[in-house]
Structure formats: C-alpha cells, structure tokens
Chain A
Amino acid sequence: NAGVTQTPKFRILKIGQSMTLQCAQDMNHNYMYWYRQDPGMGLKLIYYSVGAGITDKGEVPNGYNVSRSTTEDFPLRLELAAPSQTSVYFCASSSGGLYGYTFGSGTRLTVV
C-alpha cells in the first residue's frame, strides 16, 4: 500500500551509538516531519522539511539531524544516543493542503 514507510520498527541502542531512522513516502508530498512521542506528552516536532533540499528545526531538535535529498526520503540521524532519546518516533508527510498528515507506523527506540 502507498503511504509512509518507516524502518526499523524497533531498535535498542547503547549510549553513544549512532543510527539513522529511515522514512520514505510515495505520495509526492512536499512536506515531511519527524515527531517523537513520549508517554503522556503528545507529539513533539523534531525537524521538518517543506521540500527537497530544505529542512528546518522543530521544537526539540537537539541531538538529531536530518537531510532531504529527494522528495521521497527524509532520514533522521541520531549521532550520540542518550537515554533521553528513548521514545517512539513518527515520520509523517503532507501535501500541505487541508488533508492532514499521513503517518508512518513508528519506530520504538530504547537507549540503554
């Protein structure tokens, strides 16, 4: 099915390790987002992109980096994992119109 594909679904990292969370969409959406969701805290925006080559920080960008070399892909990089980054990460995309977001299925990350 078309939509937003996130990988991996689960990951355990040791403190100080690095990893990339992958996100791809096949709907030709210009807007893409990375959120983290902590229990009872709703969704917090990490980074977003309004098109290929354009990215910007959201509410909680520290400890993360992104790139957007193509319309389809929007990977999220964690360089030095910390326990505070234990969370569920969601990628989402949007056409920018009045249609809301399409979310990926999420990545549950645990840093130990």
Chain B
Amino acid sequence: EDKVVQSPLSLVVHEGDTVTLNCSYEVTNFRSLLWYKQEKKAPTFLFMLTSSGIEKKSGRLSSILDKKELFSILNITATQTGDSAIYLCAVDDGGSQGNLIFGKGTKLSVKP
C-alpha cells in the first residue's frame, strides 16, 4: 500500500530557530513530491520536487529530495511566528487519476 509518513507530527520552536521537517514515502510509481503549507484554510503550494539532490529554495524555505532513500526534507531557517502552520507532504504516484497521497502533516508552532 502506498503511504507517506511525516515526522515529527508536531513541533514547537522559538523565533529565529531553524527547523527540519521530514517526509518519507513508499509508492509504486513515483512521479513527484510536493510540499504544502496550511494555515487556517486551504493548503498552499510550496515546492514540487522530481529529481534527487536538487534543492528548491524560496526565501527562508528550502527542500530537497532523495529518491534513493525515499525521503524529502523541508528546512525553514530563522523561523517567524508567521511560519506557524501545518506542513503537508504529498506524493504523486503517477497514476492516471493524478491523485496525490498525503501525509498526516507536521504542525509547526513558532513562539515569539
């Protein structure tokens, strides 16, 4: 059974800290891995990763994929209270329906 596992499930840090969120996966046919940030409402897209070893960066956020070890990490440096959210990892299994398999998410709380 295809699955995506995120760790930790929740994390509390202070402003200025650096955090690393983990996502491991087991899917039959991998096409891409995506990270989303979910605040109060809908998830918003952060990154899509398809190739191993190529870091994607956006401001203080960065992510990298390891297709050999079947995991990805999301790094956030110099965290701010606005980074508080649930971070979702999802894998596109390349099926004809274009479905994403989601992990349970990591709830990040950044304290002032």
List chain A positions with a Cβ less than 8 A from chain B: 31, 33, 35, 40-45, 48, 50, 56, 58, 90, 94, 96, 98-106
Contacts and interface: CB of A to CB of B under 8 A. Distances in A.
B112 interface: no
B41 A106 contact: yes
B86 to A, nearest CB: 9
Given A42-B104, A42-B105, A98-B48, A50 B41 contact: no
Given A100-B45, A101-B45, A105-B41, A50 B96 contact: yes
B42 A103 contact: yes
A99 B31 CA distance: 12
A48 B96 CA distance: 11
The SS class assigned to the B binding surface is: loop
A50 B94 CA distance: 13
A45 B2 CA distance: 13
Contacts of B100: 100-101
Given A33-B99, A101-B100, A106-B42, A42 B48 contact: no
